[in-house]
Amino acid sequence: MIIPLENPVLVHEDFGKQKKTEELQLDNIIPTSKTSSDDDVFLAPEVNAFGRQFRDYADANNERQKSVEEFYKTQHTNQSLDFVKKMRHEYGKLDKMVMNIWECCELLNEVVDESDPDLDEPQIQHLLQSAEAIRKDYPDEDWLHLTALIHDLGKVLTLPQFGGLPQWAVVGDTFPVGCAFDESNIHHKYFMENPDFNNPNYNTKTGIYSEGCGLENVFMSWGHDDYMYLVAKENGSTLPSAGLFIIRYHSFYPLHKAGGYTHLLNEGDKDNLKWLHVFNKYDLYSKSKVQVDVEKVKPYYMSLIKKVRNFTFISFEDE
């Protein structure tokens, strides 16, 4: 997958400065929630689409929960450092078929996330639900609207034309590899079957890393987050650093939900984590059976896409 940006206009100089232009902006202070023109501010629901608490993994008698637990058993067993390095090398080439952002969004109609205990709707609805919820509360932060729209696009890796990777190699909570698997990870017991679990080079708190090394220097379990991050970063996306951080770590629940792995963060990570906490509220709690009218909101998101009009996606079909 490639995002060639021949004439990028999505500009941000750095996280702490604001430039007065017509381009997408990132304020130097995280704004409070703003009321939209219709006063329709996002309120997090108390229960998910199945009438249960969000991210509830405890009901072992529920069929959906059983499949989710089986998913994590497979993921935790197979996501080793060697596997991650192999996937990053293979998919980091970004050298196949071209498609644009909206075409990639529409492909997500064919994807249902098997790791998600909260929703079994097509993924395009999740993108639009989270983006629309953010837009209502933060109408001036259009960089964040765009980030919400594209944050899960890497899930197309499950489709045949993108390599047909198994879901355990695409979705689910992410975590660092190359160091001890923190107990904040969901279904931590299944890491015992991972080849890295008893490796003395990898099973200490810091492993191959050091305190405060920064997440940029950490290998994360392979999936749609890391893939989409590579797509944006390697092709010169000028999303602000907080946008790239959100894309790469939005599934890193052991960090931003449970507070694990904080010893690996540097100061830049801590700043960007504040934005991820803002985003996570909408990524998680906007999941609903009530669907967004795609054609109604499409013109707005197409206007954002035009600001990065050369944002195109590459799949992994045979040449």
Binding-site residue positions for substrate:
55, 113-115, 155, 172-173, 250-251
What is the separation, in whole angstroms, between the first and last Cα of the chain?
A: 13
CB atoms within 10 A of CB 154: 26
The whole-angstrom distance between residue 157's C-alpha and the CA centroid of its chain comes to: 13
Residue positions in the annotated binding site for Fe cation? 126, 151-152, 224, 250, 283
In the 8-state DSSP scheme, what is residue 219?
A: P
Amino acid 43 reads L
For residue 223, give every residue at least 6 positions away whose Cβ sits within 8 Å of its Cβ, in sequence order, or none: 154, 169, 170, 171, 172, 174, 251
**Annotation: binding site:** 55, 113-115, 126, 151-152, 155, 172-173, 224, 250-251, 283
Taking the C-alpha atoms of residue 218 and residue 104, their distance in angstroms, rounded to an integer, is 28
Phi and psi at 308, nearest 5°, equal -125, 60
Residues forming beta bridges with residue 100, ordered by sequence position: 312
Backbone phi, then psi, for 27, in 5-degree steps? -70, 155
The beta-carbon contacts of 125-130 under 8 Å, at least 24 apart in sequence, are 125/291, 125/292, 126/152, 126/286, 126/287, 127/151, 127/152, 127/153, 128/292, 128/294, 128/297, 128/301, 129/286, 129/287, 129/288, 129/292, 130/282, 130/283, 130/286
Q: Which two tokens stand for residue 206?
A: 């810091």
8 Å CB contact between 248 and 151: no
How far apart, in whole angstroms, are the C-alpha atoms of residue 205 and residue 223? Answer: 23
Q: For tokens 């679990």, what's the residue?
A: 197
- Picking from 217, 156, 180, 188, the residue whose alpha carbon sits closest to that of residue 76 is 188
Calpha distance 262→197 (Å, rounded):
20
